[in-house]
Amino acid sequence: MKLYYSTGACSLSPHIVLRESGLPFELVLASTKTHQLPDGTDFYSINSLGYVPLLELNDGTRLREGPAIVQYIADQVPAKHLAPANGTLPRYQLQEWLTFIGTELHKSFSPLFNPAVAEEAKGVFRDKLKARLQWVDGQLAGKSYLMGDDFCVADAYLYTVSRWCGVMKIDLAPMTHLVAFQHRMLERPAVREALKAEGLLK
């Protein structure tokens, strides 16, 4: 398999999950600025949407969108328990988390990364993000991970998105459960390996 990624972007989530899975894969850097691969290939020729992540399977099939990719990876290694079994209520609760992170957190960050968006408007999105993150903080109370004591693929997504708070000047210090979650994630070997591979951890 090949994972097309951009350093520190949302593709960090499936990158972490791939390392948790133990499956063999190749990392391919796809710059979100130049949209070119290291060999000069136009990334749009691989993903016409031009963004990451994109997972290319061994038969050439390509999967887009992080929440779909991480569930696919998890289902290849059911013994690792990276996601609850299909058809069970916990699986739908996992999808609930993936949808929430994608729509309420991830997409709310997008305007903050856009230099064309006025600072006043960015303040509105920061306030919305703080409110959503405070809610997540409450959901983490008394739990190690989003769905209890065990890591699941949604944790990789939350960790990836919450890392952007520092860059975007969103203070997480009052959200003690979320901060503890971030520290717990950083202790996981797969997380550290992914960060090192992307040059995000020395």
Q: Which tens digits make up the pLDDT trace of 37-47?
A: 999 999 999 99
Q: According to the model, what pLDDT value does residue 18 have? A: 98
pLDDT over 90 (residue 169): no
Ordered domains of the chain (ranges, CATH): 2-81+190-197 (3.40.30.10), 89-188 (1.20.1050.10)
Q: Which residues of 150-169 are buried (b: 16+ CB within 10 A; e: fewer)?
A: ebbbbbbbbbbbbbbbeeee
Percentage of residues of the chain with pLDDT beyond 90: 97
93-115 pLDDT, tens digit per residue, is 999 999 999 999 999 999 999 99
13-49 pLDDT, tens digit per residue, is 999 999 999 999 999 999 888 999 999 999 999 999 9
pLDDT over 80 (residue 140): yes
pLDDT band, residue 188 (cuts 50/70/90): very high
Alpha-carbon distance of 202 to 195, in angstroms, equals 9
In terms of pLDDT, which residue wins out, 32 or 198? 198
pTM: 0.96
